[in-house]
Amino acid sequence: MHFKLQPGGALKGEVRVPGDKSISHRAIMLGALAEGTSRVEGFLEGEDALATLAAFRAMGVAIEGPVAGSVTVHGVGMHGLQAPGKPLDLGNAGTGMRLLCGLLAGQAFDTELTGDASLCSRPMGRVIEPLTKMGADIRSAAGGRPPLSIRGGRQLQGIHYDLPMASAQVKSCCLLAGLYSAGRTTVTEPAPTRDHTERMLRGFGYPVESNGNEISLRGGGGLRACDIEVPADISSATFFLVGASIAPGSDLLLRHVGINPTRTGVITILQLMGADITLLNEREVGGEPVADIRVRHAPLRGIEIPVEQVPLAIDEFPAIFIAAACARGRTVLHGAGELRVKESDRIAAMAEGLDTLGVCNEVLDDGIVIDGGELGSGVIATYHDHRIAMSFAIAALRAGGEITVRDCDHVATSFPGFDELARGVGLRISTTGG
């Protein structure tokens, strides 16, 4: 499937984007390991979260739904999972695979994790290393890449692990393995990362201690079922935050968006660039802060992005690059080497697309320099990365001609129905070849 986009337009009205992908993954995982029945509302019915759901069904967990975002998980307890009859296929879900590594390392049975070509090219050594130190037995393909074979029946031991990079996935993997470990597991972060795992563990009644940049728990406890309301995903909302900021005449309200402080770097960065963004009706739902967000067009300016904001906006940078391309002056990003090991090398992929549209940029080892200016037209390669596809879709709001974004099938991994929702608020988008 390809996107075809006509230039111009503005984003107006109200929209609620799909549920948060990170929280949807974790809701299924912890609900499956809890005692009792957990009900999840707002579950993201995207391919990544559905792959996690299917994996737990394959391990004997009864799960009803999803129906209109509602899922009921009948938990089997910490030691109730069953050996799957075949490898667990996570599709494109890197979060699902990395977190499952932690959970499965402590099970009594052997498992194999695999995925699509994109996922099988992504490095898993960053989770294999700490899990091995905890006593896990994990075998991988060359370069620490999937498929992964996890040997069961190992007695894990809690460790103190200093994260070599700011990664919520690695932190969460270690903490989830810690549930099955003897003693205490402590993770030290070099910078704050999203804390959905810690929040949700507490919601399921499991004690987690946070002391500055140290997060720890003691193994051997249990989880109690609870109900979860998943807020709208701020990563998905970002495309509309940027789109409304760059398109003259835009005035858009985004409903019920998660504003977890470990995820709001995109709001901070856009406001530093001059964006007109207002949080309304701030509240807490199921342990997660949410708000309605109003965004109106405003002239943006280039900035040097504060390095401390990078981990808080790591998934949102492709869209932020589009904001930078439409800003006056130069935007400089450092400290974002993590972008090179996402679904694609997002620095290289975005730079190539910006080149196509005539936007001057310079690729750095750990970031990029973008000189704002006029956007042209052209055909964009996405490298099968959903965030690259949606980022260049919103670029059409300021383009000088038609943009074709190729190979957009993977948009469904995080944002099913993106084109229809975007068209409803003013993006001039159509699909071909699907």
Supply the pLDDT for residue 222: 97
The reply to whether 199 and 103 lie within a common domain is yes
Average pLDDT, the chain: 96
Q: Is 48 among the residues known to form the active site?
A: no
Supply the pLDDT for residue 433: 84
Q: What is the pLDDT of residues 265-286, one digit of tens each?
A: 999 999 999 999 999 999 998 7
The reply to whether 63 and 163 lie within a common domain is yes
The reply to whether 158 and 256 lie within a common domain is no
- CATH code of the domain covering residue 253: 3.65.10.10
Q: What is the pLDDT of residues 340-391, one digit of tens each?
A: 988 889 999 999 999 999 999 999 999 999 999 999 999 999 999 999 999 9
Structural domain includes residue 335: yes
The reply to whether 160 and 296 lie within a common domain is no
Residues 42, 17: Cα–Cα separation, whole Å: 10
Domain boundary among 193, 217, 241: 217
The proportion of the chain whose per-residue pLDDT surpasses 90, expressed as a percent, equals 94
The reply to whether 197 and 244 lie within a common domain is no
The reply to whether 150 and 272 lie within a common domain is no
Count of the separate structural domains present in the chain: 2
Angle at 57 between CA 97 and CA 43, to 5 degrees: 70
Residue 187 near residue 216, CB atoms below 8 Å = yes
Average pLDDT of the residues in 126-154: 96
Average pLDDT of the residues in 151-168: 95
b/e sequence 266-302, b meaning 16+ C-beta within 10 Å: bbbbbeebbbbbeeeeeeeebbbbbbbbbbbbbebeb
Does the pLDDT at position 114 exceed 80? yes
20, 48, 195, 315: the catalytic one is: 315
Q: In what order do the strands lie in the sheet with 251-258?
A: 12-15, 251-258, 288-296, 276-285
Residue 268: enclosing H or E segment and its boundaries?
Answer: helix 265-272
Structural domain includes residue 186: yes
Supply the pLDDT for residue 287: 80
The reply to whether 287 and 209 lie within a common domain is no
Q: What is the pLDDT of residues 172-208, one digit of tens each?
A: 999 999 999 999 999 999 999 999 999 999 999 999 9
Residue 264 near residue 234, CB atoms below 8 Å = yes
The reply to whether 30 and 163 lie within a common domain is yes
Structural domain includes residue 223: no
Structural domain includes residue 79: yes
Structural domain includes residue 356: yes
The reply to whether 235 and 198 lie within a common domain is no
What is the domain extent for residue 45? 21-217
Domain boundary among 170, 187, 217: 217
Structure tokens at 247: 């398109």
Supply the pLDDT for residue 285: 85
Residues 290, 279: Cα–Cα separation, whole Å: 9
The confidence band for 434, taking pLDDT boundaries of 50, 70 and 90, is low
Q: What is the pLDDT of residues 28-56, one digit of tens each?
A: 999 999 999 999 999 999 999 999 999 99
The reply to whether 160 and 39 lie within a common domain is yes
